[in-house]
């Protein structure tokens, strides 16, 4: 007896799909879920056909079954595409625009910081590893244990260049990125073809004070690292250390050299108690000076109320 006599005609048609999908699932584990689903859809279709007991002479049935399986295959392909997209890293189109020692305009409210800033953010990796290895903070766990649970807060995320450094170079997948102005983010991350924001990176178009209010209401988790990208008074940096950082967390901020003086900052790395771990007045050839904190009444210049339309919380 020939194979055609044993297996219904439609089953022979779908046999290569089953074999192909099953092989794909075995050879490429990353696409195994979708491939396995295709195999299972096609295989259940063959089961159904076998149960038909060979009574497959109706062409209308054939057509509707073919449409059904084509539809299912398209659905599975969509799921597979979505899974692959999830794995794409965060990208800002502004990343390649940064320059040593110069700020570059990204929008009315946002400057891309000088390259030295992004080099300094990278220090968080080294410093965090040192803290973990020496056990200064009593921690015995390595950050490799649970990298996927690590959380970063990017304050003043602007065009997303700092976010890209945190995601791609520091390896933080879960990032809350905030900026009171979303213009530079929209232009470089959302609307630009080069830009890409995975679902684990969340942008909040909020100033830090409004964000903290929301964070408290949600009783959200604390962060492993916090990066400030605008100048702050020491009291604000300490508040974030003591309230939003995890026990072994680290905060990097350009802190005003004097209270409410916005023309010169010291870059500082602080632990959860606000202890100073590292600081720099100049980074390479660049003398640390950032855009000011828009929420402060003492904020001066074009980046501040009333020139930029910002309204402070509660006013």
Q: Is residue 113 close enough to count as binding ligand SAM by CB under 6 A?
A: yes
**CB of residue 207 vs ligand SAM: minimum separation in angstroms?**
4
Of residues 1-60, which lie at the interface with ligand SAM (CB under 6 A)?
none
Q: What DSSP element (H or E) covers 198?
A: none
End-to-end CA distance of the chain: 87
Of the candidates 80, 208, 224, 271, which one interacts with ligand SAM according to CB under 6 A?
A: 208
203 touches ligand SAM by CB under 6 A: no
What is the closest distance, in whole angstroms, from the C-beta atom of residue 156 to ligand SAM in the complex?
3
User: Smaller CB distance to ligand SAM: residue 180 or 203?
Assistant: 180
Q: How far is the CB of 296 from ligand SAM (least distance, A)?
A: 8
Contact 224, 151 (CB under 8 A): yes
H-type helices in 28-58, by residue range? 32-51
31: its two tokens:
């696409």
Q: Any residues with CB less than 8 A from the CB of 297 and at least 6 apart, and which?
A: 312
Residue number with CB closer to ligand SAM (45 or 118): 118
In the complex with ligand SAM, the residue whose CB is nearer, 76 or 208, is: 208
Contact track, ligand SAM, 142-181, x by CB under 6 A? --------------xxxxxxx---------------xxxx
Question: For residues 169 and 119, what is the distance between their CA atoms, to the nearest angstrom?
Answer: 10
Q: Is 195 in the site for ligand SAM (CB under 6 A)?
A: no
Cis bond upstream, residue 78 (ω within 30) = no
* CA-to-CA separations, 130 to 110, 118, 150, 276, 291, in angstroms, rounded: 33, 20, 17, 14, 30
Nearest to ligand SAM of 32, 266 (CB atom):
266
Question: What are the DSSP calls for 8-32, one per residue?
Answer: -HHHHHHHHHHHHHHHHHHH-GGGH
Q: Give the binding-site size for ligand SAM (rule: CB under 6 A).
A: 26
Contacts with ligand SAM in 210-239 (CB under 6 A)? 229-230
Burial of 88 (0-12, 13-18, 19+ CB in 10 A): exposed
d(CA 123, CA 70): 51
Q: Which is nearer to ligand SAM, 37 or 296 (CB)?
A: 296
Residues 277-306 contacting ligand SAM, CB under 6 A: 290-291, 293-295
Alpha carbon distance 254, 266 (integer Å):
5
Phi-psi region of 141 (alpha: psi -120 to 50; beta: other; left: phi over 0): beta
Interface with ligand SAM includes 109 (CB under 6 A)? yes
Contact 198, 90 (CB under 8 A): yes
* Segment interacting with ligand SAM, rule: CB under 6 A, options 7-15, 105-113, 195-203, 269-277: 105-113
* 76 lies in the binding site for ligand SAM (CB under 6 A): no
CA–chain centroid gap for 277, Å, is 27
- Which C-beta is closer to ligand SAM: that of 156 or that of 249? 156
Site string for ligand SAM, 235-274 (x = CB under 6 A): ----------------------------------------
Residues in touch with ligand SAM (CB under 6 A)? 94, 109-113, 156-162, 178-181, 207-208, 229-230, 290-291, 293-295
């Amino acid at each position: 007896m020939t194979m055609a006599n044993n297996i219904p005609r439609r089953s022979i048609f779908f046999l290569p799909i089953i074999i192909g999908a099953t092989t794909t699932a075995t050879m490429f584990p990353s696409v195994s879920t979708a491939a396995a689903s295709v195999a299972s859809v096609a295989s259940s279709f063959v089961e159904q056909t076998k149960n038909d007991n060979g009574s497959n002479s109706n062409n209308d049935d054939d057509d509707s079954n073919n449409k059904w399986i084509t539809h299912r295959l398209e659905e599975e392909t969509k799921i597979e595409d979505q899974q692959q997209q999830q794995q794409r890293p965060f990208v800002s189109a502004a990343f390649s625009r940064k320059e040593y020692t110069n700020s570059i305009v990204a929008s009315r409210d946002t400057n891309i910081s000088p390259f030295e800033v992004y080099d300094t953010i990278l220090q968080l990796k080294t410093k965090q590893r040192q803290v973990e290895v020496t056990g200064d903070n009593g921690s015995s766990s390595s950050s490799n244990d649970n990298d996927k649970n690590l959380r970063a807060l990017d304050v003043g995320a602007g065009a997303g260049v700092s976010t890209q450094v945190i995601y791609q170079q520091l390896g933080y997948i879960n990032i809350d990125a905030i900026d009171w102005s979303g213009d530079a983010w929209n232009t470089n991350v959302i609307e630009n073809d080069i830009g890409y924001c995975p679902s684990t990176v969340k942008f909040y178009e909020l100033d830090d004070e409004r964000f903290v209010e929301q964070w408290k209401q949600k009783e959200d988790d604390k962060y492993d690292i916090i990066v400030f990208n605008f100048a702050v008074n020491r009291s604000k940096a300490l508040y974030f250390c003591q309230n939003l950082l995890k026990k072994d967390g680290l905060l990097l901020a350009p802190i005003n050299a004097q209270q409410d003086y916005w023309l010169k900052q010291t870059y500082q790395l602080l632990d959860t108690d606000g202890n100073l771990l590292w600081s720099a007045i100049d980074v390479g050839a660049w003398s640390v000076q950032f855009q000011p904190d828009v929420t402060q009444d003492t904020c001066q210049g074009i980046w501040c109320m009333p020139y930029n339309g910002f309204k402070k919380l509660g006013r």
